[in-house]
Structure 1
Amino acid sequence: MLGTAQILSYIAALGLAAAIPGPGMTALVARSVSGGAVTGFTMLTGLILGDLIYLSVAVFGLAVIAHNYTSLFTLINWAASLYLCCLAWQFWRYQPQAVNIDQRATRKQLASAWFSGLTITLGNPKTIAFYLAILPLVISLDNVSLQIWGMMLVPLTIFVLLAVGAVFILAALKIRHFLTSAEAQRLLFRSAGVIMLLAAIGMVAKTL
């Protein structure tokens, strides 16, 4: 079992890592502004699933394999960086649309938001660094059983990320009325694109 100190340390570390603006939360704000609360929370579920995948990778020891095969780990970093660059380009070229507060998102838009959340997390260097480098320093993974993973770490991860993500979504909805102009939306999405590009550059720089 995990001790109280380890649980609190994990909650604090994960909450801080999630709250620091990065590609994931920046994209979440942008999508919430353009699509509303339902779109934002749908994207958040994709972001959370991506975190759970990396949590599972770290807990079940696959992180050790990744570190032992340096070339494979480098290839993964480069692939993730390339994907972030593609996302950055898409966000930079985003064509602003009129924000209709009462308009409901379509299933296609919700599916796109969910998939974007998942893929952004899987390609997010901040997420990778947390679960493969920081998590082992916070929790002794050798003592984490399947039961602890399923009954403690997964629920805690969902709770923390849902709480942090909800704050970002609600903040985005608060400023949504001020971002109805095309110029304001363009600035928001381009800012998100720049953050993704910087994250990609930082990830490549670590492998050189």
Structure 2
Amino acid sequence: MNLIEIVTLFVAMTVLALVPSTSVALVIARSSAAGFLNGCAVAAGIVVGDLVFVLLAMLGVAALAEVMGSFFVLVKCLAGAYLIWFGISLMKSRASLQRVGSVRPASTLAASFFSGLFLTLGDVKAILFYASFFPAFVDPAGATASDIAIIVALTIVTVGGVKLGYAYAAGKLVSLVQGTKTLSAVNASAGGVMVGAGVYLIVKP
């Protein structure tokens, strides 16, 4: 890949990451309900999921996704069920007056990470998207190790950077909010977003 292709791909992936989506909503929801670190954990999960699809697309596994349709439907349903369960648990939880951005239990961070990962992996059509998107910049069949490394780095920087930006903005906004009732409303809203994301994954064609 030459410099022009790298810059063009960087801009394109940044714009795509900025577009409001279920992943953006999930990052904002977790940052609002549990603080910036949890938003970062969700963003990390999303990036890992995207990297899985990027590598699969570059390795030519898009055709496999079509052949193994029923298996990927199962993955999508399991991912949706996890998000629904996580969302309901959040809505039932009591509001915490712990300062937003303070240290969070590792289990909560792990749950946030997996919610981002499963949301991304549940969108199995992303493999097909990446498989059709990247050929405009690099031929997957002739891609070198350096090409793949560049694409992986661009994915981490663009997707991760944008999602962290959303997490930071949401965390800053909620850090200004005080009061159990308000935080309870935030938890309920965040849980509702997760349930909605889970239902969306399950019912969408």
TM-score by length of 1: 0.76
**Aligned equivalent of 1:162:** 160
**Aligned equivalent of 2:56:** 57
Contact 2:14 2:158 in 1 (8 A): yes
CA offsets, 1:131-162, max 9 Å, x none?
32322332213343443112x11100011023
| Alpha-carbon distance between aligned partners in 1 of 2:199 and 2:35, rounded to the nearest angstrom | 30
Contact 1:22 1:196 in 2 (8 A): no
Contact 2:87 2:190 in 1 (8 A): yes
Gaps (5+ residues) in structure 2?
Answer: none
Code of the aligned partner of 2:4: T
Secondary structure in structure 1 of the residue aligned to 2:95 = coil
**Aligned equivalent of 2:134:** 139
Alignment map for 1:113-124 (pairs within 5 Å)? 113-123=112-122
Code of the aligned partner of 1:137: S
Question: Residue 169 of structure 2: which of 168, 171, 174 is its match?
Answer: 171
Secondary structure in structure 2 of the residue aligned to 1:100 = coil
Q: CA deviation at 1:107?
A: 3.9
* C-alpha distance 199-138 of structure 1, shift in aligned 2 (>3 A): same
Code of the aligned partner of 1:4: I
Instruction: Quote the RMSD (CA, aligned, Å).
Output: 2.9
Q: CA deviation at 1:23?
A: 3.8
Answer yes or no: is 1:184 the counterpart of 2:182.
Answer: yes
* C-alpha distance 193-13 of structure 1, shift in aligned 2 (>3 A): farther
The count of corresponding residues between Structure 1 and Structure 2 is 201
* C-alpha distance 54-29 of structure 1, shift in aligned 2 (>3 A): same
Contact 1:34 1:99 in 2 (8 A): no
TM-score by length of 2: 0.77
Secondary structure in structure 2 of the residue aligned to 1:179 = coil
| Alpha-carbon distance between aligned partners in 1 of 2:36 and 2:94, rounded to the nearest angstrom | 20
* C-alpha distance 107-73 of structure 1, shift in aligned 2 (>3 A): closer
| Alpha-carbon distance between aligned partners in 1 of 2:194 and 2:84, rounded to the nearest angstrom | 7
Contact 1:23 1:192 in 2 (8 A): no
Fraction of identical pairs, as percent: 23
Contact 1:33 1:179 in 2 (8 A): no
**Aligned equivalent of 1:4:** 4
| Alpha-carbon distance between aligned partners in 2 of 1:175 and 1:102, rounded to the nearest angstrom | 11
